[in-house]
Amino acid sequence: MGRKKNYTEMELLDMTKRLLLEHGYDGFHLKLLSEHLAGARSTIYQYFANKEEIVAACMKRVMRSIITKSAEVDETDSLEALRQILHVYVEESEFHQLLGDAHKINTANSTAAAHDLAYIEQAHEELKAQLTRIFEQANREGHLRKDIPLPAQISVYFNLINSPNVMRLPLSQWSSFLFELWFKGVGK
């Protein structure tokens, strides 16, 4: 009988993300994860002690990617920056919904999970600050309507990422479509 191959932490987190998207936080468990990996279940425990740690680490990894991509956006042209940031957000739109389950993670059993959740919270604040800064710039430049409060504009913009891609367009097209819809509206 051959020895089962071990898998990397990256492979583990990739599969965790996939299964979280398919089954949600409540439907995800380590047995399910091990059934989808070509290797020994014990390998999971080389990286993470429990479900809370692996889910928090997966969320942190996604958030780190969003932070990195958002930081690369050139904010010189405020409208183009808003378009690019929306694309970054749309790329992880499905996972965004799962971040809402972060409160379900019991951090009493894991300082690692607590640390990762603290990172996620801090990253949310960074993204919020960036978005606010760019919106304020766009407002100063006269690109945005003055009769609609900035917090309302930001809220609607941010919630675009929850719009299902019913047309099944490539993500770049879908995010551009959403941006145009948000910026120009649907009226004539």
By the 10 Å C-beta count (0-12 exposed, 13-18 middle, 19+ buried), 126 is classed as: middle
Is residue 47 within 8 Å of residue 13, measured between CB atoms? Answer: no
Domains in the chain, CATH or no CATH each: 51-184 (1.10.357.10)
Q: What is the DSSP string of 129-162?
A: HHHHHHHHHHHHTT-S-SSS-HHHHHHHHHHGGG
- Tell me, what's the pLDDT at 6? 76
- Tell me, what's the pLDDT at 1? 41
Dihedral Cα 127, 98, 31, 13, nearest 10 deg: -30
| Total-model pTM | 0.89
CA dist 68 and 114 (Å) reads 21
- Tell me, what's the pLDDT at 17? 95
Mean pLDDT in the chain? 92
